Amino acid sequence: MMQGEGELNHLERPSPLNEREKVLIQDSWAKVYENCEDAGVAILLRLFVNFPSSKQYFSDFKHVEEPEELERSVQFRKHARRVMNGINTLVESLDNSDKVASVLKLVGKAHALRHKVEPVYFKFLSGVILEVLGEAFPEVVTADVAAAWTKLLATLCCSINAVYEELGWTSLSTSTG
């Protein structure tokens, strides 16, 4: 089995978010988004420290190891902002499934075709988001809030995987190793 293929096949799409879960996500996100810049940097830094291979896709800092130096990279900070803005759009659009689908389609397409990012990195990023939010906002991220976020992020990964599959990612992934 090629790298990433198992991930594509074995992720189960969670049930849609219910109204309570949407409110839990929107309320908790509002607190996080007040510190958008810091939260984004903390999340991306954790991704690159815990999963150093995720740096391979970023020309400006793929060989940088020091977290302090990573944080200073313009490309790093720009992507941290983009990730936070992407999640913000999803959170704002929880009642608009067409919008959610179209945002995830765009993100999936760009990362598969242009940046050639293995889809498993979206799963790593999702885990890191939960971890960092739980640590940074322990009073906000209760067990119920964490469960709602887990569901949203699993949905995100499933949708991204579906886009990759539609694009025939398995053949692409052989060329990127």
Give the binding site for ligand HEM (CB under 6 A). 54, 57-58, 75, 79, 82-83, 86-87, 107, 110-111, 114-115, 117, 121-122, 125
Residue placing its CB nearer to ligand HEM in the complex, 65 or 143: 65
In the complex, residue closest to ligand HEM by CB: 86
**How many Cβ atoms are within 10 Å of 151's Cβ, its own excluded?**
17
Closer to ligand HEM by Cβ: residue 56 or 142: 56
Among all chains, which residue has been given the structure tokens 């979206």?
122
Q: In the complex with ligand HEM, which residue's Cβ is closer, 20 or 172? A: 172
Question: How is residue 113 annotated by DSSP?
Answer: I
Shortest Cβ 4–ligand HEM spacing (Å): 13
CA distances for 174 relative to 2, 34, 40, 116, angstroms: 7, 41, 31, 11
Burial class (CB in 10 A: 0-12, 13-18, 19+), 107: buried
φ, ψ at 175 (rounded to 5°): -80, -15
Minimum distance from residue 89 beta carbon to ligand HEM (Å): 8
For residue 148, the minimal CB distance to ligand HEM (Å) is: 17
Q: How far is the CB of 115 from ligand HEM (least distance, A)?
A: 4
Between 20 and 75, CB nearer to ligand HEM: 75
Distance CA 13, CA 27 (A): 24
